[in-house]
Structure 1
Amino acid sequence: MSDASESRAPTSAQGPAGKAAVDKFGAIETLGIDYIEPAQRHGRPRELFTIWMGSNIAYIFILVGGLLPLLGLSILQSLAVLLLGNLFWALVGFLAVSGPATGSASVVVQRAQYGMRGNRILGAGVGWVTSIAYIAINLAVGTFAGLAFLALVNVGDSTALTIVVAIVVGIATFVIAVYGHATIARLSTWFSAGLGIGALLLGFFVLQKASFAPSEFVPLEGAELWVMVSIGFTAVAALPLSWPTGADYARYLPASTSKFATAAWTGLGGFVAAVVLGGIGVLAGSVVDMSDPQTSLQEIVPAWFYVVFLLILVVGSIANNSLTAYSSGLAFQAMGIRWSRARSVIFDAFIGTVIALIALLSDSFYSSLSTLLTLTVAYLGPSITIYAVDILMRRNRYDALGLHDDSPRSPFWFGGGVNWAGATAFILGTGAALLCVNTYVFVGPVANALGGIDLTAIVGPLVAGLSFFILTKITQGQPRGLGV
């Protein structure tokens, strides 16, 4: 935990080691999970659009879109599932409103839901593990693209080359994350423009070859159809649900910033990128085998554009991972580790790279990805819903300074440092979700009883949200630590 979180009245006027707080493009951001004072606030909510769109023009969305036809869904069914699953971006945007209200990162705001000590595991701990997993996924995808590019220039494939490419892509990613908020915000504008144009060109070429009614397609019917729809919905929903970190990038906005604008620009940025790229994946899946993330689209785009496409994949994975790594560094600090944000990011980079290399050398990348996405929904759905219910119950009013007071006198200390209403709701929601899981490695008893229908993304959030609301009312009456 940073020094600023040690006292009742934290300040961002001084960063680590007494240095002046810095949040400028091209300079390393000195603040971590510290409270952002009003004088340090800047920016406009529309800047959040490019942050979220630029960072989500990533190949993982094409992969998930391509998964839907592989499940046996028609093009129209796949597009419908894609749209419905991505509605969770509205929830991501809603969580972002807590940033300007508190001047704090999401993992700090979650102290209101789990308590000072409970949050180290259920909020920051869970967030850190999830971030590391997604860092590894994006790094693996970027490395796949880099290897495909080298294959075009006749550079032989080898384990050593895979390791080198992964490290190079990783360094580019984590340098941006180390520099921090202002640098990410500025580069996101460029990423949005460049990657957006590339994505539209990709969509144009894919649309020329796509088939809305493949001749060999055999439509699913009855229970089998709903099983595949539910599995696809869960996989799509996993991506927006992996972002309970909207406050991390909105906390520098003035407290008077419009809540609607903050939520809308955040959610819309992610939604547009996810739907466009997922749609490209769906259409591509109608004519090529999307189970190969390295070369599947080479068959349907011009040779010259395939080179551009590979660069899009590499840069897209870097852009996505810069946000993920930034949040992972904040989560690592909030777990109680007394490191600077930059040092935390570097450590996370090492862990994520090791996991990515393991995945890269695996023969089952796509099935592993599908399983991971489904399993993360089991706990991310409850977590993000508890966060949203907390905002609603307190009308986005938090004792901003109290969130940084980790002593027993903090209004967010609760009982022994744990908000048992939040902790219990999280456990109940996750447990209920796991009963509904349907993956390659595990099928929950509820999913099994329903013939394989996966209700993870629905049951988990409902149980967690209702449990948190009821338990908070019973134990507290109204949420503790209400701000003005």
Structure 2
Amino acid sequence: MSETSASSADSQQESHPPRHEFLDAATAPETRGIEIVQDDERHGKARDLFFVWSAPNLSVLNLTVGASLTIVLGLEIWQGLLVLLASSLLAILPGIVAISGPAAGTSGSVIQRALYGIRGNKIVIAFYGWFISGVFLALNWVAASFMGGELLMRWGFPNHTVALILVAVVTAAITVLVAIYGHALILRAYMGIAIVLSVIFAAVLGFLAPSIDWAFAQPEPLSGLPLWSSLTIAFALFAAAPLSFSNSADMSRYLPRDTKPSRIIAATALGNVFPAMLLTAFGIVLGGTVGAESLESGIEYSLLEKLPIWLAPAFVLAVIVNTIALNGMTTYSASMALQSIGVPIRRIPSAILIGVLGTAFTIVLVLSSSLIDAINLMLQFLLVISAPTMAVYVADIVLRRNRYDGPELFDERPGGKFWYTKGFSSPGLISVVAGAVATALFLSTTVWTGPLGAALGHLDLSAPVGMLVSAGLYALLAGPTIRKQTASS
């Protein structure tokens, strides 16, 4: 055996702990973290992923975002629906990312070592995969806190601030519990959650349907540059959700290695797109009926006023359960991020830690922010970070033809396949940074307008430009190295 081969083998022994049995059952906490899922431990079908992604996307915030197209951006209903249809094509991207999970048998936060290098990946994951996850946990919990707090006050709870904090803490605790039990619980429970949420939202929408102005038309229809500005801003708002799900490999990594990639892509993409499209479409139509004041604290508040007493609590419960489903998945992925960057912590304590961080952020936000401010902040940050990281991840999968060797991803010693230059992959890091800058330059929101976006008359080209810059640069800079790596494997 050569010295290099011996070094690589030793490094894999040291970096990859001895194999032991991990229990993946819905009735017990999942002890596996980033450890590779061996072939004899793989299970499940690609179709299971449909409900895994449906439950988080049955979100009432889709109604708010949809309504903002007609209320704030001034689009006609048919124009909003066309933008929604176009943006739904982006759901294929988390589907493509998902196929890397069964190929490598580990989490996306480890797979991305191939993109950024062993050390470079630590920077990306520490920021995006862990700290930012805590921020977005808080922003989602804020929505549930406002809704739950409002219901408690209607039931006679004496203090509004205490009500907000109480709902935030309880929601966060249940969310962390979901993350602790992990993959098997999510796989089993999210099907039931998706069905229950669908029934509740169908009842809400059915009750509201007779009062909607289906023939709504803008009193002053947009045309020319203002119309294109609103259309591109709407696309950016819709793009934020599918581009944020770069953790889809975490949910698919237990699938058998021979699962057809096309089925994984289809189940993940359709689970993402169907629920979101239906609720957002209804929100677009609803925007022609409710007033602009309904968006001040979120359209869900105005809906709460219109619902009968028996349906209002179920609606609030649906909002909270959806938040738990979405944040449960985020916490689950974030719990593996600390491990992937080298922190000596098991997955369950890591999930608790991220939950505590998110809860602290939530309490700060509910005491100082309105719901609409939180949503704007979330969408602004999401696009700048998620567009380039998603684009680079997908580009690597395509260039590498989804060939990832799990054990090699754990070789953290100099000279390893993904050590690159002093632990950093310049092509990956340059592509992400350049894409983030491009996204910010073309962004156009009420919170921030990039100079290039402003120069173009507030056309928001942030999502397509950010993705094209990142993917194009990565293909150009990383292509030769990837071809050498795949040729030798």
User: Superposed, which structure 2 residues align to 1:91-170 within 5 Å?
Assistant: 91-170=93-172
User: What amino acid does structure 2 have at the position aligned with 1:121?
Assistant: I
Cα distance between partner residues in 2 of 1:60 and 1:328: 22
Cα distance between partner residues in 1 of 2:414 and 2:265: 33
8 Å Cα contact 1:98-1:247 kept in structure 2: yes
Counterpart selection for 2:231 from 229, 232, 235: 229
Counterpart selection for 2:297 from 292, 296, 311: 292
Q: Secondary structure at the match of 1:408?
A: coil
Residue 221 of structure 2 corresponds to which residue in structure 1? 219
Residue 48 of structure 1 corresponds to which residue in structure 2? 49
8 Å Cα contact 1:210-1:283 kept in structure 2: yes
Counterpart selection for 1:74 from 73, 76, 90: 76
Q: Secondary structure at the match of 1:413?
A: coil
Relative to 1, partners in 2 of residues 1:322 and 1:170: Cα closer, same or farther, differing over 3 Å?
same
Residue 270 of structure 2 corresponds to which residue in structure 1? 268
User: Is 1:434 aligned with 2:434?
Assistant: no
Relative to 1, partners in 2 of residues 1:343 and 1:246: Cα closer, same or farther, differing over 3 Å?
same
Cα distance between partner residues in 1 of 2:296 and 2:275: 21
Deviation at 1:483, TM superposition (A): 8.4
Residue 5 of structure 2 corresponds to which residue in structure 1? none
Show CA shifts across 1:208-233 (max 9, x none). Answer: 22223436643222211111221121
Cα distance between partner residues in 1 of 2:85 and 2:180: 34
Deviation at 1:312, TM superposition (A): 0.7
8 Å Cα contact 2:148-2:167 kept in structure 1: yes
Cα distance between partner residues in 2 of 1:149 and 1:160: 13
Cα distance between partner residues in 1 of 2:69 and 2:15: 50
Counterpart selection for 1:201 from 200, 203, 221: 203
Relative to 1, partners in 2 of residues 1:179 and 1:190: Cα closer, same or farther, differing over 3 Å?
same
Counterpart selection for 1:210 from 212, 221, 233: 212
Deviation at 1:266, TM superposition (A): 0.8
Residue 314 of structure 1 corresponds to which residue in structure 2? 320
8 Å Cα contact 2:45-2:255 kept in structure 1: yes
Show CA shifts across 1:409-459 (max 9, x none). Answer: 320111111111111111111111111111233221110110111111010
Deviation at 1:466, TM superposition (A): 0.5
Counterpart selection for 1:348 from 347, 350, 354: 354
8 Å Cα contact 2:136-2:378 kept in structure 1: no
Relative to 1, partners in 2 of residues 1:119 and 1:276: Cα closer, same or farther, differing over 3 Å?
same
Residue 480 of structure 1 corresponds to which residue in structure 2? 485
Deviation at 1:343, TM superposition (A): 0.8
Counterpart selection for 1:447 from 439, 447, 453: 453
Cα distance between partner residues in 1 of 2:488 and 2:44: 23
Relative to 1, partners in 2 of residues 1:67 and 1:332: Cα closer, same or farther, differing over 3 Å?
farther
Q: Secondary structure at the match of 1:478?
A: helix
Deviation at 1:149, TM superposition (A): 1.9
Relative to 1, partners in 2 of residues 1:51 and 1:479: Cα closer, same or farther, differing over 3 Å?
farther
User: Is 1:21 aligned with 2:22?
Assistant: yes
Q: Secondary structure at the match of 1:295?
A: helix
Relative to 1, partners in 2 of residues 1:215 and 1:424: Cα closer, same or farther, differing over 3 Å?
closer
User: Is 1:393 aligned with 2:399?
Assistant: yes
8 Å Cα contact 1:426-1:464 kept in structure 2: yes
Deviation at 1:44, TM superposition (A): 0.7
Deviation at 1:297, TM superposition (A): 0.8
User: What amino acid does structure 1 have at the position aligned with 2:80?
Assistant: S
8 Å Cα contact 2:100-2:402 kept in structure 1: yes
User: What amino acid does structure 2 have at the position aligned with 1:59?
Assistant: V
Cα distance between partner residues in 2 of 1:147 and 1:359: 14
User: Superposed, which structure 2 residues align to 1:449-464 within 5 Å?
Assistant: 449-464=455-470
Cα distance between partner residues in 1 of 2:212 and 2:488: 54
Aligned residues: 475
Counterpart selection for 1:380 from 381, 386, 390: 386
Deviation at 1:156, TM superposition (A): 3.2
User: What amino acid does structure 1 have at the position aligned with 2:373?
Assistant: S
Cα distance between partner residues in 1 of 2:275 and 2:132: 21
Deviation at 1:341, TM superposition (A): 0.8
Q: Which moved more, 1:365-374 or 1:375-384?
A: 365-374
Cα distance between partner residues in 1 of 2:38 and 2:414: 23
Relative to 1, partners in 2 of residues 1:64 and 1:5: Cα closer, same or farther, differing over 3 Å?
farther
User: What amino acid does structure 1 have at the position aligned with 2:479?
Assistant: K
User: Is 1:36 aligned with 2:37?
Assistant: yes
8 Å Cα contact 1:402-1:481 kept in structure 2: no
Cα distance between partner residues in 1 of 2:14 and 2:426: 23
8 Å Cα contact 2:331-2:354 kept in structure 1: yes
Show CA shifts across 1:245-301 (max 9, x none). Answer: 111010000100010011110111011121112123223322222332251212443
Deviation at 1:85, TM superposition (A): 2.1
RMSD: 2.1
Query: Deviation above 4 Å: which 4+ runs of structure 1?
Result: 481-484
Cα distance between partner residues in 2 of 1:47 and 1:477: 32
Residue 417 of structure 2 corresponds to which residue in structure 1? 411
Q: Secondary structure at the match of 1:303?
A: coil
Q: Secondary structure at the match of 2:118?
A: coil
* Structure (1/2) with the larger helix percentage: 2
8 Å Cα contact 2:399-2:479 kept in structure 1: no
Residue 251 of structure 1 corresponds to which residue in structure 2? 253
Cα distance between partner residues in 2 of 1:58 and 1:469: 35
Cα distance between partner residues in 2 of 1:95 and 1:25: 25
User: What amino acid does structure 1 have at the position aligned with 2:241?
Assistant: L
Unaligned segments of structure 2, at least 5 residues? 1-9
Show CA shifts across 1:326-376 (max 9, x none). Answer: 011112222222111111111111111121222222344313422431332
Cα distance between partner residues in 2 of 1:307 and 1:273: 21
Relative to 1, partners in 2 of residues 1:67 and 1:333: Cα closer, same or farther, differing over 3 Å?
farther
8 Å Cα contact 2:67-2:286 kept in structure 1: yes
User: What amino acid does structure 2 have at the position aligned with 1:468?
Assistant: Y
Cα distance between partner residues in 2 of 1:129 and 1:219: 43
Residue 17 of structure 1 corresponds to which residue in structure 2? none
8 Å Cα contact 1:59-1:317 kept in structure 2: no
TM-score by length of 1: 0.93
Residue 338 of structure 1 corresponds to which residue in structure 2? 344
Residue identity over aligned pairs, in percent, reads: 34
Cα distance between partner residues in 1 of 2:63 and 2:364: 22
Deviation at 1:196, TM superposition (A): 1.4
Cα distance between partner residues in 1 of 2:18 and 2:64: 41
Cα distance between partner residues in 1 of 2:396 and 2:488: 13
